[in-house]
Chains A and B, each alone.
Chain A
Amino acid sequence: MSEGRVVLQTTALRKDFGGVRAVNDVDMTVRAGRITALIGPNGAGKTTLFNLMTGNYGATAGTVVFTDDDGASHSLVGRRPDRITRLGIARTFQNIRLFSDVATLDNVKLGMHPRTRAGVFSALLHLPARREERTVHEAAYQYLHFVGLAEKSHELARNLPYGEQRRLEIARALALDPSLLLLDEPAAGMNPQETEELMGLIRRIRDLGITVLLIEHDMRLVMGISDHVVVLDHGEVIARGKPEDVKNDPEVIKAYLGDEAA
């Protein structure tokens, strides 16, 4: 695999919660067109790192720089989540956060929100909004189809089984037309069959040219699809590299599986 351009770069990124340092001077690089996995034991600071990247938390120190499709670099520290989303970073959540009382299709449409126009007057006058509405509708279907939920378009999000809710969240994130997709434990709660399908889905997302950064505990998934793995423990990067190298790193085995395994 050739070295892709840098999409996301954190430098000496730090986050303190009161006296607890959740993320400690993390330098991390995410390269274009690759699947990068962020792994580590519970409480290692993985989700905190995600929240720093999406603007949900403000960093205590350090920088996060995102380079968009046009090659322009943007500092993400201090930027609001909605602005970061518009730059081209979308995410899913560890604990699924769908608009649960809304139909599956409408969840995806909400993801397309920044790209739609329908203003006050066009809605009142029924003007070109109609044409746009149809385009949005069709595009939303395409996203659902992509994750395999086309038949469930009219079901309420909360009525979907767990695994399908996860895939719907991915569809909604894709609808934002991101260049970087952050997936927070996408396989959590999935059975082996579903995880297998998810791996295929994540590969297809990468093949669309979308860079993927994911947090995952399922090692089969991580080792199966990642191009690059970063291991976090106690808020610090303890290892990084190709999956097979990281897998055999004694430091990682100790941190991740406990002392007995080492």
Chain B
Amino acid sequence: MADLLTPENLVNALSLGALYALIAVGYTMVYGIIKLINFAHGEIYMLGAFWALLVVGMEQATGINLFVAIVPAMLLCAAVGMTVDWSAYLSLRRRLPLADGLSIGGLTLLGVGAIFYKLTGDTTHAWYSEAAHGVFGWSIVALVPVVMLALSIGEKGGMLGRSLGRVSSDRLSALITAIGMSLILQTLAQLVWGADYRAFPQESIPAWMNEPSFHLGDAPVLGKELTMWVVALAMMAGLHLLVSRTKIGTAMRACSMDQETAALMGISVDRVIAFTFLIGSGMAAVAGVLYSVKVGGNISFRMGYYPGLLAFAAAVLGGIGNIRGAMLGGVLIGFLQGFTGGTFTIPFLVMILVLLVLPRGILGEPQATRA
């Protein structure tokens, strides 16, 4: 046990904590307002790394500094996040006829995606890359809008929608749509960029990032690790200010308390929700870029899966819906993983144990009582 408490592990734990905290706030902010677990959030994190990679050069270095590339990565991820909300979740919230189609579309995609994932997940198959880039791959991409359209035409989500009826609650439809969204983004990334692990070109990374900036005990803290900590801290502080001090932050808090009443205070709820996706996605993009630098590559269509899952666990551990809880949960999960040699078992085990005692998470408020 004692040999786990090393300075090296502490450095790693701090970086993982920063990573999970940055992603977890995105989960928790969206949940706080629309009570939806946005499972596509891990894919936003993945896309952040890819957008930055495109800017600094995927095959050949463009000579652009990685820090410069973070900005377009954030903007693009914010756009993707808002698009996901607008295209998939908004119609569910508004109970548009499209909603049935989208939820069933999401379910269909879950199946299609799972089969496709199973078939192509093993990259050693020679036929894979040809198939993925070939007709087969693109036909699946084409299938997505066709299936959705087919299912959503008509008054109540089309033929299939009517025959299934409204079997699921709205929350469940939204959840399945979120999982579907996650698979769409993963599959699209795989089709466009393939399944190889990629890394940022060395030229784009400032030299000091790979040099020790100081030592923690006898463990060197590299510039890239320090950057993660500093950036994560700064973003958390900024988010705190945003939520507590600004007009849009006040609107966010009002919407998380009572959307309908917030609307009657003249607050445009849809705009607040879009803004929430924007902020969360931007932070996830930063996490995606910085963590890829830290591990020296590993940029692939699947990179968002485990960090997304662990960050979700962090948000739940801290009390889902509570921003400070997500920060705390992120650091805790990071430490649990960092000090146990990178296992997934211990963080999840601890999460389960904590939830047994505190079902709403560490900082989660007790079940609201209504008069």
Evaluate contact between B266 and A113: CB separation under 8 angstroms.
yes
Contact between B250 and A81 (Cβ–Cβ < 8 Å)?
Answer: no
A100-118 CB contact bits vs B (8 Å, 1 = yes)?
1110000001110110111
Near B by CB (< 8 A), chain A positions 106-162 give: 109-111, 113-114, 116-120, 123-124, 129, 158
Contacts known (A85-B263, A85-B265, A114-B266); A124 close to B241, Cβ less than 8 A = yes
A123-B242 contact in complex given A99-B254, A102-B257, A118-B247, C-beta closer than 8 Å:
yes
Report if A82 contacts B (CB, 8 A). yes
* Residue among B261, B266, B268 making CB contact with A97, cutoff 8 Å: B261
- Contacting A at CB under 8 A, from B248-300, are 248-251, 254, 257-258, 260-269
Chain B facing A: main interface SS:
helix
Q: Can you name the residue of chain B whose Cβ is closest to the Cβ of A87? A: B266
User: B residues within 8 A CB of A54?
Assistant: 264
Question: Which of A99, A101, A114 lies in contact with B261, CB distance below 8 A?
Answer: A99
Cβ distance A79 to chain B, nearest Cβ, rounded Å: 11
Q: How far is the CA of A10 from the CA of B360 in the complex (A)?
A: 46
Complex contact A120–B265 (CB within 8 A): no
Bound together, the chains give a CA A198 to CA B33 distance in angstroms of 35
Q: Is B371 an interface residue (CB 8 A)?
A: yes
A111 and B268: CB pair below 8 A? no
Instruction: Select the residue from B241, B254, B266 with max chain A CB neighbours within 10 A.
Output: B266
B343 within 8 A of A: no
Interface residues of A in 64-110 (CB under 8 A from B): 80-83, 85-86, 90-91, 93, 95-102, 109-110
Cβ of A248 to closest chain B Cβ, rounded Å: 37
Question: B371 touching A119 by the CB < 8 A rule?
Answer: no
A56 located at the interface, meaning its Cβ lies under 8 Å from any Cβ of chain B in the complex = yes
With an 8 Å Cβ cutoff, the count of chain B residues facing the other chain is 24
Interface centre among A54, A95, A99, A129 (most CB of B within 10 A): A99
B268 surroundings in chain A (CB, below 8 A): 80, 82-83
Q: Is the CB of A110 within 8 A of B254?
A: yes
Q: Among A56, A86, A113, A172, point to the contact of B250 (Cβ < 8 A).
A: A113
**Is A176 on the interface with B (CB-CB < 8 A)?**
yes
Chain B residues, CB < 8 A from A83: 268
- Complex CA distance for A4 and B300, rounded to whole angstroms: 69
Q: Provide a sorted-by-A list of 20 A–B residue pairs whose CB atoms are within 8 angstroms.
A: A80-B268, A83-B268, A85-B266, A86-B266, A93-B261, A97-B258, A97-B260, A99-B258, A99-B261, A101-B257, A110-B250, A110-B254, A110-B262, A111-B265, A113-B247, A117-B247, A118-B245, A123-B241, A123-B245, A123-B249
Interface residues of B (CB under 8 A from A): 238, 241-242, 245-251, 254, 257-258, 260-269, 371
Q: A81-B264, A83-B268, A113-B247 are in contact. List 14 more A-B contacts (CB 8 A).
A: A54-B264, A91-B264, A96-B371, A97-B261, A99-B254, A101-B257, A110-B254, A110-B265, A114-B266, A114-B267, A116-B247, A123-B249, A124-B241, A176-B265
